[in-house]
Structure 1
Amino acid sequence: MLKNNAVLATVVFAMVVTVSSVSYTFYQLYETNRAKHIDNIFSKHSLISQIYHTYIIKQVSQPMFEANLALYDLEEISDETDYETIIRQGRILKSDGNGDEMMEQYSLSESPFETHAAQQVITSMIEHRGHIYFWVESSRHSVLLEDRNIEPYRPLNLLSAYGTIMTILLVSFALIIYRLRPLRRLRKQIARFGEGDMGVRFRIEGSDEIALIANELDSTQNKIRSLIESRTLFLRNIMHELKTPIAKGRIVATMLSDEKQRGRFEGIFERLESLIGEFALLEEITSGNQYHEKKEYRLIDVIDGAIDLAMVEYDAVDRHIDASIKIEADYRLFVTAVKNLIDNAIKYSPEKRMEIWMEEGEIIFANEGESLKKPLNYYIEPFTKEHPTKDSFGLGLYIVDAILKEHDYVLAYERRENRNCFICVPVKTKRK
C-alpha cells in the first residue's frame, strides 16, 4: 500500500516534519520569552528584600513599611486563609533561596524568636490565578505581597504568529494533496490502458503539470490507437487479399498433368496458407484487442485436442496426466500452444515420440534428441530455427511463448539426461 502511494506518503511525512519543527521552535521561543519575562519581574525582588529587611530589624515602623510597599504598588495579603491558599496552591516561578522546594514543605507556623545581627531573607515569586505575589520570609517572620502592576506572562503575540504560520502550512499542504489527487486517477487510467482498454481517456482540464502530462498521454493514446487500427486493417486486408490468389493457385495446381510439379505447387500453397494462419493468430494475440474467454478445462482434454490438431498418432504421445487436473484458459489458444509444443517435440525426435507429465504444477513436454545449441530466448524470437525445414517458418515457439504469457505462464527449457524438456511454468511459482 505504501509503495502505491509513495508521493502522498512523502508529502504527509514532509508535513509532519515541518509542523513538528515549527511547533518545537515556537515552544522554545515561548520558554525563552517566559524565562526573560520572569527574570525581568524578579529583578524587583532585591528592592522588596531591602524594604523587608529594614522593617524586620525594626529600623522602620509598621506604617512606614506599608507606605513603602504602597509606593511600589505592593499590597500585603493579611487574610490568613488567602495567605495559606496562595502559599499552598500557587506555583513558584523563581526564588533567590530554596525556590525549587514544594510550597507544602514551608512551615506556616511562626518561628521562635531569634536574635541575629543580620537576618537571612528569602524571596520567592509565586503565580496564582493570574496574579503575581512575592513571598518574603526570614527565620522570624514572613510576608506575602501582591504586585498589582505585574501580570503573568501571556504569549498572545507568539500564539497569534504560531496560529498564522500553522494555518498557512496546513492550507499549503492541503492544496498540494488536492493537486496530487488527479495522479491517482491517472494511474488507474494508465493501468486500464495497459490492460487493453483503448476507450479510456486521459484528458484533464487545466494548465498545471499534471494536466499537461495527462493531455500529452491522451494525444499519445490517440496516435497509438490510430497506429494499431492501421496495422490491424493492413494485416487483415493483406491476408484477405492473399487468400484469393492462393485458392486460385491451388485449383490451377490440381490441373497440372505432371504429378511432381503438381505436388510441388500444392506444397507451396499449403505453406503459404499455413503462414497466413500463423500471422492471423499472431495478430490476434499481440494486438490486445481480442477478448479471450477463459474457462476451466481438464488438462487431458486440452492435450487430446492439441493431438488432434497436430494430426499425430495418439500412440506417439505418452500422457501421464491426472484426469482431475484443470486449468483456466482460452481453449482455442491454449490448444494451439500445446499443439506447437507437441509438433516440435515429435518433429525433432529421432523416434518420433514424446512424453507429457505434470510436476509441481508445471506442465513438461519432453522428447529424446539433441540438446539446443543456443539459449531458449533465441528460439522464442520470430523466424528463428535451428534446422531449416520446409514445414517450419520459425514462428512455433514464438506463438507458444505469446499464448503462455496471456495465460500467466512462462516457457522454460531444461536438459535432463538425453531428453529435451520444454516446461510451462505458472508465473506465481516462477523459478528463480
Structure 2
Amino acid sequence: MKRHAVLLTVLFALSVTLISVSYIFWEFFQLNYKRYVNNIFNKHSIITQLFHEYQQNRSSLAIFEANLAIYNMSTISEKSSKEILKKGKILKEDGEKQIDSTIFFSKDMIYRQNVTSHMRTTMLQYKRSIYFYINSDTGTIMIIDNSLKPYKPWSLISAYVSIISIIIISFMLILQRLRPLIRLFQRIALFGEGNLNVSFKVKGSDEIAVIANELETARIKINSILEARTLFLRNIMHELKTPIAKGTIATQMLDSQKQRDRFTSIFGRLETIVNDFAMIEEVTSLTCKQEFSEYRLVDIIDGAIDMSMVDGVHVSVDVSASVKMNANYRLYTTAIKNMIDNAMKYSPDKHINIVMKEEELCFESNGEKLKHPLSFYIEPFSKESPSKNSFGLGLYLVDSILKAHKQVLAYEYEEGVNRFIFAKDV
C-alpha cells in the first residue's frame, strides 16, 4: 500500500470527483424533472374548469371537445382509459373542491344554494404521451394533451457525459505524467540493491525529469567516490601488508626472545587490523549482496570454529541441522568467529555456548556485565581500558556484517552470563 500511495491517492481523488459530480447531476436532474412536472401540471386548472362547465350543463359535449381542441387536447375512450390507468406512470395528482351556487326564487324571497363537489386530477405518462384523468362526484374523463411529451434529459445527459469524460481524460493524463515516477522508483530500487550502473537520466524538462537527472548526477558522483575509496583502501592495505610482512621476517632475526615475542605480537596485531579493514571494505561494498546463498547454519558455525582455531571443547553448539539461512558464507562465518574470539578473551572459563532461542542465534559466555551500553562497543576501536585486549574492530565488524544480512546485534546479561544475540532487524 505504501509503495503505491501516490497512485492510490490519485485514484481516490478520481473516485471522489466522479461520485461528487454524479451526485450533483442526479440532484439537478431530480430538481429539473420536478420543475418540469409542476409546470405542465398547471394545465389541469384549464381542463378542470372546462370539465366542470360541461358537467353543469353549461356546454354540450361537442363544445367541450371543441374547447379542448383549442388547447391541442382530446378525450380518450373509457376502454383506453382503463389501460392507461393500469399501466401508466403517475406523475402528479391533486384534489380540489368545486362550489356551485344556484339562485332560487320564491314568492317571499330569493335565496342561493351552494353545492360542493370533489374533483381529483391525476397526470399520467403512458407510451410517450401525457394524460390527465379527472375524477369527480358526477363522473370521470381521460384527456390526452397532444402538445406535451415526457421529460427528455438529453441535454443534461450530454453535459454529464462531457464533464465525466473531461475528468477521466484529465486523470489519465495525470497518471501518464506519473509513469516516469514509477520507472524512477524502480531504478532507485535497483541502485539500492547494488546495481551502480543503472541510469536515472530522463528526457524532458518537467519536475520529474529534473529530479531524475539530478539523481543521475548524484549517482555519477557516488560511483566516483566509491571507486576512489575502494582504490585508496586497497592500495593502502597492500602497502601496509608489505612492511608488516618484512617486519615479521626481521623479527625472527632478533637475538632476544622477549623482543622477538613483543614485535611478533605487534606485527600480528597490525596484520589483524589490516585484515579487518579489508573485511569492512567488503561488507560496506554493495557488490557483496550478490554473493548470498542458502546454507545450513551448523555448517556456517563449524566453519567459524575452524577459522577461530579453538579447541572444540571450548565451544558448545545447540543448533538444529535443519535451520537454514540466506547468507554470505565468508562474512557470516567471520561474524561468528569474532564472537567466539571475544568469549575466549573475556570469559574466565574460556567457554562459549552457541544456541538457538526463538529463531535467533545466541552466544552465551560467563563473565562480568558490560560497563557501557552495547552501542559503545560496536564503535571501531572501542575499549573499556587502555590495554592490549580490546574489542577493536571485532564487534564493529560483526554489527556491519549483520546489517548486511538485515540483522542486528543485541545484548543481554543474566545471572553472570553475557548473551550476545543475532536478532532480526524489525
Q: TM (normalized to structure 1)?
A: 0.88
Residue 47 in 1 paired to residue 30 in 2? no
For 1:351 and 1:358, locate their aligned partners in 2 and report how far apart those are by CA, in whole Å: 22
How much does 1:258 deviate? 4.0
Cα distance, 1:374 vs structure 2: 0.8
> How far apart are residue 159 of structure 1 and its match?
1.7
Partner of 2:398: 400
Larger relative strand fraction: 2
Q: Please tell me the residue identity of whatever aligns with 2:35.
A: K
Could you say which residue in structure 2 is the equivalent of 1:255? 253
Name the counterpart of 1:67.
66
Counterparts of 2:294 and 2:142, CA distance in 1: 93
Separation of aligned partners in 2, 1:342 and 1:171: 65
Aligned length, in residue pairs: 409
Name the CA distance, whole Å, in 1 between partners of 2:38 and 2:290.
Answer: 82
For 1:301-316, what aligned pairs fall within 5 Å after superposition?
A: 301-316=299-314
Unaligned 5+ runs, structure 2 = 97-113
Cα 1:303–1:151, aligned 2, differ >3 Å: closer, same or farther? closer
Q: 1:363 aligns with which of 340, 344, 361?
A: 361
Which 10-residue stretch deviates more, 164-173 or 313-322?
313-322
> How far apart are the structure 2 equivalents of 1:18 and 1:323?
59
- 2:324 & 2:36 partners in 1: Cα distance? 83
Provide the identity percentage.
Answer: 51
Query: Which secondary structure does the structure 1 equivalent of 2:410 belong to?
Result: strand
- 1:329-348 alignment, distance < 5 Å: 329-348=327-346
Could you tell me whether the CA contact under 8 Å between 1:271 and 1:391 is conserved in 2? no
SS in 1 for 2:229: helix
* C-alpha distance in 2 between matches for 1:35 and 1:270: 98
Q: Give the distance between the partners of 1:172 and 1:17, measured in 2 at CA.
A: 14
Mapped partners of 1:299, 1:88: distance in 2: 84
Contact 2:345 2:389 in 1 (8 A): no
Matches of 2:202 and 2:38, distance apart in 1: 61
* CA spacing shift, 1:148–1:309, aligned 2, 3 Å: same
- Partner letter of residue 163 of structure 1? V
SS in 1 for 2:228: helix
Written as runs of structure 1 = structure 2, the 5 A alignment for 1:287-302 is 287-291=285-289, 293-302=291-300
Residues 141 and 327 of structure 1: CA distance in aligned 2, closer, same or farther (over 3 Å): closer
Partner Cα separation in structure 1 for residue 290 and residue 63 of structure 2: 107
The equivalent residue for 2:197 is 199
* SS of 1:120 mapped into structure 2: strand
Q: Distance in 1 between matches of 2:173 and 2:5?
A: 18
**Could you list the per-position Cα deviations for residues 340-366 of structure 1 after superposition, in whole angstroms to 9, with x for gaps in the alignment?**
111111101223333323333332222
Could you say what secondary structure the match of 1:366 adopts? strand
**CA–CA distance in 1 between the matches of 2:6 and 2:23?**
26
Alpha-carbon distance change, 82 to 368 in structure 1, aligned in 2, over 3 angstroms: same
Give how far 1:381 is off. Answer: 1.5
Cα distance per residue 1:184-217 (max 9 Å; x no partner): 3222222221121212222222222222222222
Q: Distance in 2 between matches of 1:21 and 1:348?
A: 71
Does 2:86 correspond to 1:88? yes
User: 1:138-153 counterparts in 2 under 5 A?
Assistant: 138-153=136-151
Name 2:101's counterpart in structure 1.
Answer: none
1:9-408 to structure 2, matched below 5 A, reads: 9-78=8-77, 80-97=78-95, 117-291=115-289, 293-322=291-320, 325-390=323-388, 392=390, 394-408=392-406
Change in CA separation of 1:318 and 1:159 when aligned onto 2, cut-off 3 Å: closer
One-letter identity of the residue aligned with 1:221: R
Contact 1:275/1:393, CA 8 A, preserved across alignment? no
TM score, norm. by length of structure 2 = 0.89
Query: 44-53 vs 188-197, which deviates more?
Result: 188-197
Closer, same or farther in 2 for the Cα pair 1:426/1:23, shift >3 Å?
Answer: closer
Output the CA distance in 1 between the equivalents of 2:59 and 2:82.
26
The separation in 2 between residues aligned to 1:263 and 1:390, in whole angstroms, is 14
> Deviation at 1:165?
1.0
Shift of 1:308: 2.9
C-alpha offsets along residues 366-395 of structure 1, whole Å, 9 cap, x if unaligned?
222111011111111112122443354611
How many Å separate the matches in 1 of 2:119 and 2:389?
116
